Amino acid sequence: MDFPRFDVEGQVALVTGAARGLGRAIALALAHAGADVALGLRDVEADGGVATEVEALGRRALRLPMDVADVDQVRAAVRRTADELGGLDILVNNAGIAPGSMAIDVTEDLFDATLALNVRGTFFAAQEAARVMRERGGGRIIMIGSQAGEVALPGETVYCMTKAAIAHLTRCLAVEWGEHGITVNNVAPTFIRTDGTAPALADPAFEADVVERIAALHRIGEPMDVAGAVLYLASPAAGLVTGHTLLVDGGWTAR
Integer Cα distance of 87 and 83 in angstroms = 7
Predicted local distance difference test score (pLDDT) of residue 196: 86
pLDDT category of residue 215 using cuts at 50, 70 and 90: confident
What value does the CA radius of gyration of the chain take, rounded to a whole number of Å?
Answer: 17
Q: What is the pLDDT of residues 227-245, one digit of tens each?
A: 999 999 999 999 999 999 9
Q: What is the pLDDT of residues 152-190, one digit of tens each?
A: 999 999 999 999 999 999 999 999 999 999 999 999 999
Integer Cα distance of 156 and 165 in angstroms = 14
So what's the architecture of 12-192+223-247 in CATH? Answer: 3-Layer(aba) Sandwich (3.40)
Integer Cα distance of 159 and 139 in angstroms = 28
Task: Average the pLDDT over each of 139-143, 171-175, 214-218 and give the range with the smallest value.
Answer: 214-218
pLDDT category of residue 113 using cuts at 50, 70 and 90: very high
Assess whether 159 carries a catalytic annotation. yes
Q: What is the mean pLDDT of the chain?
A: 96
Annotated catalytic residue, options 159, 177, 191, 252: 159
Mean pLDDT of 46-72: 97
pLDDT category of residue 255 using cuts at 50, 70 and 90: confident
Integer Cα distance of 31 and 181 in angstroms = 23
Mean pLDDT of 199-214: 92
Which of 173, 195, 193 lies closest to 184 in space, CA to CA?
173
pLDDT category of residue 14 using cuts at 50, 70 and 90: very high
Rounded to 5 degrees, φ, ψ at 143 are: -85, 150
User: How much is the pTM?
Assistant: 0.96
Residue 71 has pLDDT above 90, yes or no: yes
Predicted local distance difference test score (pLDDT) of residue 183: 98
Query: What residue spans define the domains of the chain?
Result: 12-192+223-247
Residue 79 has pLDDT above 90, yes or no: yes
% of the chain exceeding 90 in pLDDT: 95
Predicted local distance difference test score (pLDDT) of residue 1: 83
Task: Give CA separation, 132 vs 22, 96, 137, 138, in Å.
Answer: 25, 23, 9, 9
Mean pLDDT of 95-109: 95
The amino acid present at 73, given as its one-letter code, is Q
Give yes or no for a contact between 229 and 244, defined as CB atoms under 8 angstroms apart: no
